Structure 1
Amino acid sequence: MVKWFDLERRLKMQNTIDQETEAQIRSEAQRWKSIMERLLAIIQFLSSHNLAFRGHKETITTDSSDRSGNFLDLVKLIAKFDPILREHLNHATNKTIARNHYLSKEIQNEFISLMANHVVKKIREKIIKNKYYAIILDCTRDIARVEQLSVILRTTYMETATIEEHFIGFVAVETTTAEDLTDYLLKELENLGLTLADCRTAESRVTTMDRIFEDWNLILGDAASSSVQAQTFFGTLQRLYTIFSCSCHRWGIPKEHVDISVKPLSETRWECRVESVKAVRFQLSKVCDALLSLREKSTDCSLISECHSLENKISTFEFVVSLVIWYDILVKIHVISKMWQSPNMNLDVAINHLKIFLKWLDEYREQGFESALVTGREIAGEIGLSEITFKSTRQRQKRRLFDYEASDETPDLSPMNRFKISYFYVVVDTIRTSCEPRFEALKCHENNFGFLYKTMNLSTMSDEELLNNCKDLQVTLSIGNEHDIDGLDLFEELKIFSSVMIEVESQQKKKEKLNKME
């Protein structure tokens, strides 16, 4: 027993017979640890920047121009300044290492696999902590013609109240039927240790607003095609872009005259309409000068005719007023869309924005045309438009097939009133009526969860009303006997939260009074 205690004491004091051997082992272990730390840092850097690891050659040399890949090149670069890695690289190059040098593709793949497992483990712990999650799946065929299923999990991080998306990995699939994809998904969730019951995108209790920004594109698409004048207006803007973008020489001409280049239109991206209208709305006179310059420098008869046609089209009072009307509407929608895309946007704020926009649209229908005329006359004066009036158009006479048919008794309207009724009212009314059905999901969310966002109104809300809202939410988030929440518990928690908010508000008021007294 005494000998064992004596050995323990000598080991602690590092005073054993083979102390030099032990010191050498510890030194060697520390050296390899330092090497591994550097190699791991290089692999993390390449992985985080989505850079390739391997090159055309995998032989280890000190030459930096042998196309050996990013991994080995970074090792050589760091070795120029790091003595530990320099010594290791020299040993590997001279083949003086008796065992593995850990610079091959196998160690790279092993490090990547270990890091991936660690990341997935952390993601799993975070999702289990936050309980609920959503799944996003997508199939992509790679260059080897292998169908790969990408798995992304979305969860709400409760500590910061932010939504986070985590890429889990790729799963090679042989078939892409719904049944097979479901089987692959269930196996992946089983490997992660997650239950499908906590997935909020795979059951009837989920409510989504995944098309909310696509709806704006559909609404404006309906409005842009609601009348012949609207279609002609955006067609003219597209013609402006086309005539300048056909060649580099033509594209250089508007750059000499305008500050903002003309923009093309897109069927899927409605924001392009804002940019396209804005480029012409605030520099119409410069666009006219650019067309005139292009016409004077060209010898192509068709191009000269097209420039002359566009000049005449954009120099009409109808086109000028259309610029003002569309810009007013598109800017309002653009501001709301940007606010809605903010990560910190709340449901009640989004609903309020929509209500304000619809109210503004009703007011604009009553008063916007007159204000557009005033602004249009100012722009018309800038381009030197002589006739600041709407042109009269010939009324179409419908053919009568039988003598007993009555003639078309369409009231004879002035050109301005005809433009207002057949164009302005049609565009505004189309947007107004399209907003109602397309944002039903937003209103559904407001009905179910709206009272939770109105934290300042909890203190003034009656207990009966608050309890009914909590019970209704419990019913919404229930399937059979399974309930995500308990209405009574939520009611009690909100009452406590309301009292805390009142106390905090009173403390803030007292603090403000003290600051004023000082």
Structure 2
Amino acid sequence: MPPKQLFGAQKHKKRKRDDALKKSQAGAMHKFIRKPPIEEPTEEPIEEQEHVEKQPVEKQEHVNEQKHAEAELEEPDEGEHVKTNINEEHVKPNLVDIFDPKRSGLPKGTLDGEGYSDWHYAHGSLKKHEASLDHLTNMNKWFDMRKRLKLNETIDKVQYEQFKKERDYWVQVLLRIVTLVKFLAKNNLAFRGKKKLYQKGNGNFLGLIEMLEEFDPVIKEHVRRIINDEVHVHYLGYNIQNELIFMIAEEIKKEIIKQIKEAKYYSIILDCTTDSSHLEQMTIIVRYLKLSSNSVTVEKSFLGFLNVNDSTGKGLFEITVEELKSLGLELDDMRGQGYDNGANMKGKHQGVQTSFLNENPRAFYTPCGCHSLNLTLCDMATSYNVKSWSLKTLSQTRWESLVDSVKAIKLQLAAVREALLELGEKDGDRATADEATTIAENEFGFDFLVSIVIWYEVLNTVNIVSKRLQSKDMHLEIAIKEIKRLIEVFKDFKENGFLKAINEAKKLAIEMGIDPIFAQKRVIKRKKQSDESSSSQEASFTREEDFRVNYFLYITDQAIASLETRFDQFKNYEKLFGFLFPHNLRGIDDEDLKLSCNFLENALKFEGRSDIDGEELYMELSSLDTLYTMEFKSPVEVLKHLNETQENFPNARIAYRILLSIPVTVASAERSFSKLKLLKSYLRTTMSQERLNGLAMIAIESEILDNINCEEVIKQFVVKNARRASRIIG
């Protein structure tokens, strides 16, 4: 509402109040103005009269009254009285124009006064101030205050001791809570059940608090305060748990990002799976090198799970690029990408690897070596329609793991056959008894025994290579050697393996009481065509020769062809980086070395910029002492030697860093899925994505977790909230 209009009486009262306020504040600035020295008046009486008129009325009346009182007490004569009046007329008032920068008669400035406008005179005033009585007095007071602060003898000693005791108490409580969070997350344990202490089924977190309460005096006091309602903030709720989990995970992620940026070059490993709540989760693993003056380590770090709604190649590419940008990782520094053999990943037109290569042609794509081995075995099995019955559960994707199923049958063939015959005789169910007898008498023939021996040898050989490829420090040189060796093993097995399999199968047949001969099958005669001569005869094989040609040679040829096709990318890597392998570097001639260096320079060039200079790389590798190269067994040892003399081999160091950054398998991504199944089980399907990522980061990167400073986490936790800061920091 608008203010009311004032009437005559109200206006008069308001005017009187304003006049009284002005009168009371008259001359209030005089105490802040330094008085200039009084000078004897010489000329310009008009200006003096003007200054006299500016003096406030109250002050002039007060001066007159004071002088009148002094006159009455002293009773001076008329001459003195006249002289006093004359002096009063010529006294200059103690007023200074504070807006006049050129006023004279004032000192150049003081440390505790108006300051300095001319610093030329500051040093003199500073020396004068240091020797002044005020400075010495205040310094003595400060020394005394500092001494009493150290001895806790200040006036608020009791209050400060009480606050310090309460602060230390809360710090110790938070330290124990953070330690419990780290322990539960590191061991993949669930946190909470019901929300109250000493209530049945309240979960692992509160259960550990109850356990510590019996032994730890800090937690005992904390629980006592909670039970007696002495505190309303106890930091045991699920929101605090989530906040601490997120903070610890962020500290781990910061350390990982720091190491990746120090390494510069990195590769990504992606894989997808479905969690217990039927959401598609994609894991991001980064492979990089951790370099120091005396060590070179290949690291594979987990960066998180991403909830994927679009599983196409374009969708996976966009969400991956967005995540890398949010983490501060440059796409231009990516030198490798490793995925499984899914169409959305390895597609040549719309796959993820194609999208990354369009953005950065130096991000070399490597299909997972273990997946390629599994697909090789799948090609062998499906090509001959291998029967799929076993004592153990079969896997349709991890065929090399079927060695355990085959091993269980191979080592217990006699016992299995006896059990089936006994089941056929004693089982009350006629259908079950007939099926068991049929399997024992018909399936356990000599050809079955030979097949078991062959497949056990194949699966065992592939499984050994697969386990080696999954090692943490695996790199291209070892992977190429392993695949070449596997192909040679299959070629040798093709030539000599059949006779060995026959001999071993005969031993098993004798133990089981089975005739060691191949069962004869009914010959199916083909109807001859009208234009076919009667003299033409089909090639006839014995049963053993027929098994060798149509079964053994068929699956071994399929294995060799599949290995050479599926690991074709490894051949390209050998052409590109093969000259950097120590065993090749020792025997290569200068011309081939120079061509290889220039070829690598072109492969690492994008938009007119290359990571290395081919000519300089050639000179650096040529200058390596032959004695040193004889001692090197792997590219890791070569890079370690080059890293000790960083200034001499810059291009060679970059080439070896890129070589060792390229992934071979996606085994680390599969391991993160194992943690995912432990964390987000069917009992914890409502877990949020943020909490899942935090728990997974702590559980997977437990080595970095051990180096996290709990006090720093507590400091960040406290500063995040003003009420916590007032309680703990003060």
Give the alignment's TM-score, normalised by structure 1: 0.80
CA distance in 2: counterparts of 1:178 and 1:264, whole angstroms: 32
CA distance in 1: counterparts of 2:429 and 2:439, whole angstroms: 15
Distance apart, 1:186 and its partner CA: 4.7
Aligned equivalent of 1:391: 519
- Contact kept, 8 Å, 2:213 with 2:223, in 1: the verdict is yes
CA distance in 2: counterparts of 1:141 and 1:345, whole angstroms: 28
1:123 corresponds to which of 256, 272, 276: 256
Aligned equivalent of 1:487: 614
**Structure-2 change in CA distance of 1:263 and 1:479 (3 Å):** same
The reply on whether 1:446 has 2:577 as its aligned counterpart is no
Aligned equivalent of 1:409: 537
**Structure-2 change in CA distance of 1:313 and 1:463 (3 Å):** same
Distance apart, 1:129 and its partner CA: 1.0
**Structure-2 change in CA distance of 1:178 and 1:23 (3 Å):** same
Aligned equivalent of 1:250: none
**Structure-2 change in CA distance of 1:136 and 1:416 (3 Å):** closer
**Structure-2 change in CA distance of 1:70 and 1:206 (3 Å):** same
Deviations 1:431-481 (A, max 9, x none): 22222111101222222222223x255344333322322222222222231
1:113 corresponds to which of 246, 259, 266: 246
2:510 corresponds to which of 360, 371, 381: 381
Aligned equivalent of 1:199: 334
Distance apart, 1:163 and its partner CA: 2.7
- Contact kept, 8 Å, 1:31 with 1:84, in 2: the verdict is yes
1:47 corresponds to which of 161, 178, 185: 185
**Structure-2 change in CA distance of 1:78 and 1:170 (3 Å):** farther
Aligned equivalent of 2:131: none
* Aligned residue type for 2:543: P
Deviations 1:371-407 (A, max 9, x none): 3222222222222224x3333333322335x633456
- Contact kept, 8 Å, 2:400 with 2:460, in 1: the verdict is no
Aligned equivalent of 2:375: 218
- Contact kept, 8 Å, 2:334 with 2:363, in 1: the verdict is no
1:269-308 aligned at under 5 Å gives the runs 269-308=398-437
The reply on whether 1:101 has 2:195 as its aligned counterpart is no
The reply on whether 1:82 has 2:213 as its aligned counterpart is no
Distance apart, 1:272 and its partner CA: 4.3
Distance apart, 1:128 and its partner CA: 1.0
- Contact kept, 8 Å, 1:120 with 1:168, in 2: the verdict is no
Deviations 1:330-382 (A, max 9, x none): 32222222222222334333323333333333333233222322222222222
Question: Any gaps of 5 or more consecutive residues in structure 1?
Answer: 242-261, 506-518
**Structure-2 change in CA distance of 1:486 and 1:32 (3 Å):** same
CA distance in 1: counterparts of 2:539 and 2:190, whole angstroms: 72
**Structure-2 change in CA distance of 1:91 and 1:468 (3 Å):** same
Distance apart, 1:83 and its partner CA: 1.0
**Structure-2 change in CA distance of 1:48 and 1:313 (3 Å):** same
- Contact kept, 8 Å, 2:409 with 2:416, in 1: the verdict is yes
1:320 corresponds to which of 449, 456, 472: 449
CA distance in 1: counterparts of 2:178 and 2:462, whole angstroms: 49
- Contact kept, 8 Å, 1:213 with 1:337, in 2: the verdict is yes
**Which range moves more in the overlay, 487-496 or 429-438?**
487-496
Q: Which protein has greater RCO, CA pairs closer than 8 Å, 6+ apart?
A: 2
Partner secondary structure for residue 96 of structure 1: coil
- Contact kept, 8 Å, 1:135 with 1:151, in 2: the verdict is no
* Aligned residue type for 2:301: E
* Aligned residue type for 1:435: L
Identity of aligned residues (%): 33
- Contact kept, 8 Å, 1:150 with 1:169, in 2: the verdict is yes
CA distance in 1: counterparts of 2:380 and 2:281, whole angstroms: 38
Aligned equivalent of 2:500: 371
- Contact kept, 8 Å, 1:313 with 1:319, in 2: the verdict is no
Deviations 1:139-167 (A, max 9, x none): 7888889x786562413132342231223
The reply on whether 1:330 has 2:462 as its aligned counterpart is no
Aligned equivalent of 1:253: none
- Contact kept, 8 Å, 2:401 with 2:463, in 1: the verdict is no
Aligned equivalent of 1:254: none
- Contact kept, 8 Å, 1:142 with 1:148, in 2: the verdict is yes
CA distance in 1: counterparts of 2:561 and 2:453, whole angstroms: 21
Deviations 1:178-199 (A, max 9, x none): 6676665555444332222223
Question: Any gaps of 5 or more consecutive residues in structure 2?
Answer: 1-137, 338-355, 633-730
**Structure-2 change in CA distance of 1:419 and 1:39 (3 Å):** closer
**Structure-2 change in CA distance of 1:279 and 1:192 (3 Å):** closer
**Structure-2 change in CA distance of 1:440 and 1:140 (3 Å):** closer
Distance apart, 1:279 and its partner CA: 2.5
- Contact kept, 8 Å, 1:207 with 1:445, in 2: the verdict is no
* Aligned residue type for 2:611: D
* Aligned residue type for 1:197: D
Deviations 1:472-504 (A, max 9, x none): 222222223132333334334434554572597
Partner secondary structure for residue 267 of structure 1: coil
Give the alignment's TM-score, normalised by structure 2: 0.58
- Contact kept, 8 Å, 1:365 with 1:425, in 2: the verdict is yes
CA RMSD of aligned residues (A): 3.1
Deviations 1:69-114 (A, max 9, x none): 43333222212211122112211221223x6333334433332333
Aligned equivalent of 1:157: 289
* Aligned residue type for 1:116: A
CA distance in 2: counterparts of 1:141 and 1:314, whole angstroms: 38
